[in-house]
Structure 1
Amino acid sequence: MNIIKSAFVSIICSSAFFSTSAATLPEAAPVVVKASMKYYVSEAGHDSNTGLTQEKPFRSIQRAADMTKPGDIVYIMNGVYTKDEPTANILTIDRSGKEDAWITFQALPGHSPRLKSKNWNAIKVEGASYIVIDGLELEGNADNIKLDYALAQKDNKNNPATSGNGIYICQKGEQKPHHITVSHCKIYKFCGGGIATSHADYVTIEDNLVYENAFYAPYGNSGISTYQNWNSDASTACKMIIRRNISHHNQNLVPFFAVGDITDGNGIIIDDLRNTQNNSKLGQYKGRTLIENNIVYGNGGRGIHVYCSDGVDIVNNTVYMNSQHPKITEGEISVVKAADIKVFNNIMYASKGRPANSIHDANGTVFDYNLVFNGKFTGSQEHNIIDKNPLFTDEAKFDFTLQQKSPALEAGTSSLRATRDFLGVQRPQGTAVDIGAFEKKQ
């Protein structure tokens, strides 16, 4: 359905796609949507067209978005989509679907549209709910920015050239977003965040490739982030899901304006779900967050970071050589000012001499059934495997599948596990689940 897929976890070395070699996402069948109305957008279209057929498409995605009603789908065809006005967004989604009639924005099957952004956001979901964004490629502005310029702009919080985001999900006035899915997208080279939520609920972020973001903004952005979730209902069930994503080589090179230092550039961060910052009146978030089957590597910040948040399950992730920035010393998975955090079945492969994990002011946090290699591990649970090489198939090429003799095989727990792995393989294949994002077929 889009260009980042391959039949298996293959390695793409072409500089046209990455500045470093990188794992890619597994092949996925196109999402089939039963739509009330179908709109089509093409680089060769015109906004005076009806947009109702592939032969009469709109030119801009925004034109189609402004027509949508619950249950509609916007199919985006081949082309490069831009917006000349930097302070605007290429696409603003502010019209909501309904519980049984979501609005979908999707690459037309067989097409590979690209949104190329120098704007505040390539896509902004503003106060809308019941929205799907699927199969799109989003490219940011980082290749056009030099570090000297970004550092000179470090006190300028109103410059989209240095602070633009890929997908930003946030409130509009008093209207807060809920029930949003972002899937099968490729999001890279944004000076700000890759995928970010603020004051949202029931968000699923899955099967995305997010890399080389957050370099130049003064906002302390990361690859994937959720900030200050809100309670759209009283449910304490799992409502925020981050799974089967690849998040790599995101980092901060410009200090966060609030503290004057490098603070983030994480692969994934769950941030202030207690709602303690910026005079928030939202109150403690009641739902749980699930982070499972992600591959997170080479980030300047921590691989997975839970900060000032409670109720997070971190399960069956492969987290490799993060905390690359010298200012970040908290390792692969860190839990700070948090409670009720469960970290199970993860591979934490640290840079030599750096911590594998960090736990600070974190009551009820349990790290167990994890495999830790290279770095110092903090924790006392007895089932962790310490200082054993996980024996990846080819770590030099970021192929994190497991060799036949890996100590991670059948070493996890089924009490808290992802039922399928990164590739969709059923767990367990043997007598117990494998540790990490991949389950070895038997």
Structure 2
Amino acid sequence: MHIRGDSDVAKEKYAAFIGESDARTNGNALSVLGRFETNKAHHVRIADNLIELCNGGSGIHAFKSHQVDIIHNTAYYNGASPELNWGQIFVQVTDDIRIVNNILVSRPNQPINSVGPDGGDQKSTRIVRAHNLYFGGLAPKLTGEGDLLADPQFVNPSTDPTVANFQLKPTSPARKSGRQERFGPFPDLKGKPRSVPPTRGAYEK
């Protein structure tokens, strides 16, 4: 299954878990919720999505899933519910996951690629991170080959969707600095072909 071209804005969930008083649960943008215990391959590809602007929980996360590729996504200022303390893109109790060529921008003092300030991959195995770009929030707890900590230089980053523009300036360190993958390249969010090497995030330019 291939999920691409999605854009989510300002989703929060006000429904308490049974037996808990906190009425703000997740409100994630994209979640892959599998059945890890069955050991069945799922092979879900999440690519070329713009996940931005105030979703209450994560931008993208996989939970109890197998074989998920999270590639060429831009996640900006999710984790709007401070009670959750969730990052932009992360995994929990998963196996065989590739997180490649994404741009993650977190809110001040919020985790960027984990759950909570001290979170890790939480009982996950065979996780590959490569050529992601991180900016803002707390320092990433988990990094991989070619990952960068830098300002992605969006044209006009904003929490106002009427003026926000998450395409990249010509000087962006994300441009033409991604990793070429055997399962790519895909066109970017606007349908433009990817360069070689590809640009990180949802937009090629």
With the shorter chain as reference, the TM-score category is 0.7 to 0.9
Q: Which has the larger radius of gyration?
A: 1
Q: Deviations over 1:110-145 (max 9, x none)?
A: xxxxxxxxxxxxxxxxxxxxxxxxxxxxxxxxxxxx
The answer to whether the Cα contact below 8 Å between 2:14 and 2:25 also exists between their aligned partners in 1 is no
Kindly tell me: are residues 305 and 260 of structure 1, through their superposed partners in 2, closer, same or farther at Cα, counting changes over 3 Å? farther
Superposition CA RMSD, Å = 1.6
- In structure 2, the partner of 1:293 is 48
The answer to whether the Cα contact below 8 Å between 1:323 and 1:331 also exists between their aligned partners in 2 is yes
The Cα of 1:360 is off from its aligned counterpart by 1.8
Separation in 2, partners of 1:259, 1:411 = 45
Separation in 2, partners of 1:412, 1:355 = 23
- In structure 1, the partner of 2:197 is 432
Separation in 1, partners of 2:19, 2:171 = 47
- In structure 1, the partner of 2:187 is 420
- In structure 2, the partner of 1:398 is 164
The Cα of 1:251 is off from its aligned counterpart by 0.9
Separation in 2, partners of 1:319, 1:385 = 15
The answer to whether the Cα contact below 8 Å between 1:316 and 1:417 also exists between their aligned partners in 2 is no
- Superposition pairs of residues 346-357 of structure 1, within 5 angstroms: 346-357=102-113
Q: Stretches of 4+ moved more than 6 A in 1?
A: none
- In structure 2, the partner of 1:255 is 16
- In structure 2, the partner of 1:200 is none
Kindly tell me: are residues 259 and 338 of structure 1, through their superposed partners in 2, closer, same or farther at Cα, counting changes over 3 Å? farther
The answer to whether the Cα contact below 8 Å between 2:129 and 2:145 also exists between their aligned partners in 1 is no
The answer to whether the Cα contact below 8 Å between 1:412 and 1:435 also exists between their aligned partners in 2 is yes
Secondary structure in structure 2 of the residue aligned to 1:372: strand
Query: Quick check: 1:325 aligned with 2:88?
Result: no
**What are the ranges of 5 or more consecutive residues in structure 1 without an aligned counterpart?**
1-239, 277-282
The Cα of 1:253 is off from its aligned counterpart by 2.0
Q: Deviations over 1:131-169 (max 9, x none)?
A: xxxxxxxxxxxxxxxxxxxxxxxxxxxxxxxxxxxxxxx
Letter in 1 for 2:46: I
Alignment equivalent of 1:266, drawn from 28, 52, 62: 28
Q: Deviations over 1:301-349 (max 9, x none)?
A: 0110111111100000000011110122121001011111100000000
Alignment equivalent of 2:92, drawn from 324, 336, 341: 336
- In structure 2, the partner of 1:306 is 62
**Structure (1 or 2) with the greater strand fraction:** 1
Secondary structure in structure 1 of the residue aligned to 2:94: strand
The answer to whether the Cα contact below 8 Å between 1:344 and 1:417 also exists between their aligned partners in 2 is no
- Superposition pairs of residues 164-243 of structure 1, within 5 angstroms: 240-243=1-4
The answer to whether the Cα contact below 8 Å between 2:62 and 2:91 also exists between their aligned partners in 1 is yes
Separation in 2, partners of 1:365, 1:258 = 33
**TM-score, normalised with respect to structure 2:** 0.87
How many residue pairs align between the two structures? 191
Letter in 2 for 1:421: D
Kindly tell me: are residues 422 and 249 of structure 1, through their superposed partners in 2, closer, same or farther at Cα, counting changes over 3 Å? same
The Cα of 1:378 is off from its aligned counterpart by 2.0
The Cα of 1:395 is off from its aligned counterpart by 0.8
The answer to whether the Cα contact below 8 Å between 2:42 and 2:68 also exists between their aligned partners in 1 is no
Alignment equivalent of 1:407, drawn from 173, 180, 185: 173
Letter in 2 for 1:404: P
The Cα of 1:417 is off from its aligned counterpart by 3.9
The Cα of 1:401 is off from its aligned counterpart by 0.4
Letter in 1 for 2:85: T
Letter in 2 for 1:242: I
Letter in 1 for 2:198: V
The Cα of 1:418 is off from its aligned counterpart by 4.1
- In structure 1, the partner of 2:118 is none
**What are the ranges of 5 or more consecutive residues in structure 2 without an aligned counterpart?**
115-120
Q: Deviations over 1:151-201 (max 9, x none)?
A: xxxxxxxxxxxxxxxxxxxxxxxxxxxxxxxxxxxxxxxxxxxxxxxxxxx
The answer to whether the Cα contact below 8 Å between 2:42 and 2:65 also exists between their aligned partners in 1 is no
